[in-house]
A and B are shown apart, each in its own frame.
Chain A
C-alpha cells in the first residue's frame, strides 16, 4: 500500500523531532542568542525601564528575527549534505508536504520556544506582566510566518556559496511585513491597545505562507538538487 501525503508528512515530522532531541544543545543555541541580544540593548541604550519599554517591541522582534535566521541555516543543510533531501525528492511522495512538515517542526523547535521564553527577556525590558500573553502570541504567530518565508530562502541558498549571509539578504526584505505587523501587535500589547487588527494581518500572512511557501520551497530545493 502506498503511503499517503499526510502520512509521509507525519513521518517526516516524527523523524525530525527525534533527530532534534538527540542534539539538544543545538536546540538551545537560538534561544541563548535571543537572550544575549535582548541583554545587549539595556547595556547600549539605557538601563531605565520606562525608556526600554518604548524600545521593547523592536528589541524583541529584531532579536527573534535574527535568531530565527540563525536557525534557518540548519533547516535543510544537514539533510541536503547527507542526501536525505534527495531521497525525499525521489520517494514519489509530495516534496511540498514533506518540506511543509519540516518547516512546522522547525517552528516547533525554534519559533515556539523562543516565543514562550520571550517573557524572560520582556520582563527585563519593562514590559508589564498583563501584556505577556499577547507578546507570546504575537511572537509565536509571527515566528511561524517567518519560518515559512525562511524555508523558501533556505531552499534557494542550498546550492550557493556563502549561503549564510545570502540567506539573511534574501529573507530580510521578504520578512518586512511580518516584522511590521508583529512589532505593532507587541507595541499595542505593551501600551494596552487592541492587538486584534495586526494579529489578523499576521494570521493572513501565515495562511498565505502556508499555501504558497511550501510550493516555492519545494521548487527551490529541486533546483538545488539537480
Chain B
C-alpha cells in the first residue's frame, strides 16, 4: 500500500525527528516574514476604523490567536485520537506538545481581549459568551496538562490524557451552545464589526496574520515535538547517534 507509507513513516520517532528538523526553519522563516508584512499592513497601511479609531488594530493579534486557541485544541484532540486508535507514540508526543502552545494562545486571546474591552466596553471583563467559552477552554487545557503531570507512568499519562482530550473535544460545541444560551438571558451578545463591513485594506492583513500564526504554530510545534521525542526516546540508540 504505497499510499499509506507516508502515514507509517510518521509513526517512526527518528524519521519525525529529522522531518521536524528539516521543516522547522521553513515554517519559522515564513511565519516571521508573513507576520512582518501583515503587521505593516495592519498598523500602517490600513485606515483607522471610523468608530473604534486606532484601537481596532488589536484585532490583528486578537482574532488570529483566538482562532489558533481553538485550532490547536482540535489538532491536539485529533493527534490524541490517532494515538489512541493506532497506538502511535509520535501522535501522543504531538498531542502533549500542543497543549502548552494552545494554553498560551488562549491566555493571549484573553489578555488582548481584555485590553480591547477596556476602551470598547468600558470594562476589562464582561461575561460575553465568547469570552466565557474561551475561559472554559483555558480550563480544559489546564485540566489536560494537570492530568498529564499527575500520572507518573508516561504511557498511562498519554492514554488517559488522550481520552480526556477526545471527551473535551466532544464537549466543546455543547459548552459553546450552553454559554450562548446562558448569556442571551442577560444581554444580547456584543457584536463586533462584521466582516462584510470591513474594507479590503483592513481584511488582507488580518488574513495574512492568521496564516502567519498558523505557520508560527507549526514552527513551535515542530520544535517542541523534537524536544519531546528526545526526552521520551532518551534510551533509544538513535537518540545517542543524533546527540553524539
Contacts and interface: CB of A to CB of B under 8 A. Distances in A.
B147 A173 contact: no
Interface residues on B, range: 20 to 34
Given A223-B159, A224-B160, A180 B178 contact: yes
Nearest to B185: A184
A170 B143 contact: yes
A207 interface: no
Given A176-B178, A177-B174, A160 B159 contact: no
Most chain A beta carbons < 10 A, residue from B142, B152, B182, B185:
B182
Contacts of B140: 173
Given A172-B139, A224-B160, A177 B177 contact: yes
Interface stretch (B89-97, B163-171, B216-224, B236-244): B163-171
B181 interface: yes
Contact of B150 (A163, A172, A205): A163
B150 A162 contact: yes
B193 interface: no
B19 to A, nearest CB: 29
A161 B177 CA distance: 33
B146 A220 contact: no
A166 B160 contact: no
B186 to A, nearest CB: 11
A114 interface: no
Nearest to A223: B159
Interface in B125-173: 136, 139-140, 142-143, 146-147, 150-153, 155-156, 159-160, 163-164, 166-168, 170-171
Interface of A: 152-153, 156-157, 159-163, 166, 169-170, 172-174, 176-177, 180-181, 184, 201, 205, 208, 212, 216, 219-220, 223-224, 226
